[in-house]
Amino acid sequence: MKGLNQKVTDITIAYIGGGSRGWAWTFMADLALEEKISGTIRLYDIDSKAAKTNEIIGNALSKREDTVGKWHYETKASLKEALTGADFVVISILPGTFVEMYSDVHEPEKYGIYQSVGDTAGPGGALRALRTIPMFVEIAEAIKTFSPKAWVINYTNPMTICVRTLYEVFPEIKAFGCCHEVFGTQKLLAHMCEEFLGIEKVDHRAIHVNVMGINHFTWFNEASFQGLDLFPMYEKFVDKYYEQGFNEPDKNWANSTFECAHRVKFDLFRKYGLIAAAGDRHLVEFLPPVYLKNPDTVESWKFSLTTVDWRIADLKQRMDRAKRLAEGEESLGNEPSGEDGILLIKALVGLERTISNVNIPNIGQIPNLPIGEVVETNALFSRDSIRPVFAGALPESISLLIAPHAANHADLLKAAMTGDKELAFKAFVNDPLVTLTEEKARVLFETMLQNTKKYLSVEFI
């Protein structure tokens, strides 16, 4: 209930994937900094021990004197227990294990196909989708049964497929997908303004943009700062840093598997005239293998291939940190993450009115993409309401790049739900990164399918 002091208490959030050793901590830390909302977080995870660890970490955080957002964390043993009566549902899961991810990312390398992430597009994205869809069918059915009025926030990739599955199973669901890639490009434009305008610090939220595209392949056709059109400045920025790339303060692509020098963005601007609004590692996977031809090409464009071995080593470090956090040897930080998740929750309970980028089904906000495809545009968030902002039509040159992916999303969803292996293969071979003969593509597809078969809802093999 909301009092005169505009504080909302007794919010119940069901966190599916509540044993997360990364995003959950970001979410907890941001909640701890927000004094206007509080309530209960129900943690559900197939790894109940990891969820219990986060329960300990979350409750310890709430007890700290510097924590203004007070939440009670509790582990639940089933989706029913977690979801019943929830006001919000957060979904942040790893579909499968690193064994399956290893196949997604590295099996195609045997055929000369390189992927920098492997979770959204490319052959890895297709196989991840096939095993993720059954999981999201189960989640959507549970939400329909136990918390049909809840707002559902998805952070899981492949984002577009995940959100699309939720609506396919439960058309009345109030679901949307959140992704921070757009914020990264706003921050890049903020650094540009700092350099070109001589301003010491520009908040990325002061960079106003029109967002259009699909998740991880988003674009700005408008960008401004304090009324100044940023496109002419960006053209000069691109000219200055096109060859050497641009390293943001305290970041260096060569020392991080996640960072880039934005050379791909700069090249795409010269080719298409819009500002590509995702990390280079994601952008390149939606295109023919111009930037992903081989590891030397990748290095020349100054981004990285994220290996699964790196992810395994990183998880080990995060598991060690979870132990330290749970035992009180370390505390979560108290700096805001810059994510919009908590702001959007505040808006949906009526405390704010804000505009942010969001992934929801297309009802015409991008008129030259298919109706029903999950698209990423701005939307207005207010009390119990999300209204997509009309983004306008994409340039034909860019809509043609998106078209095969939109078709693949529809085919993969239908294939996963009906067991149509040939339809799944059609989507697989239709991906721009799969430049193999049909015979070789078939062998790769069958191998990757075999490697993930235990997660398929129907018998593909």
The angle formed by the CA atoms of residues 305, 440 and 122, to the nearest 5 degrees, is 35
Q: Which residues sit opposite 174 in a β-bridge? A: 151
Contact criterion met (CB below 8 Å) for 423 and 141: no
| Residue 226 backbone class (left: φ over 0; alpha: ψ -120 to 50; beta: rest) | left
Could you identify the residue written with the tokens 């907890």?
Answer: 28
Q: Which residues contact residue 334 at a Cβ distance below 8 angstroms, ignoring those fewer than 6 apart? A: 29, 32, 33, 66, 67
- Could you give the residue ranges of the DSSP H alpha helices within 331-395? 341-348
Query: Up-side HSE of residue 325: CA atoms within 13 Å toward CB?
Result: 26
User: Cis omega (within 30 of 0) on the bond before 158?
Assistant: yes
Return the closest-CA partner of residue 263 out of 296, 307, 300, 231: 300
Q: How far is CA 214 from the centre of its chain?
A: 11
Query: Up-side HSE of residue 250: CA atoms within 13 Å toward CB?
Result: 0
The residues annotated as belonging to the active site are 180
Contact criterion met (CB below 8 Å) for 132 and 161: yes
Q: Which amino acid is at 156?
A: T
The angle formed by the CA atoms of residues 331, 337 and 338, to the nearest 5 degrees, is 165
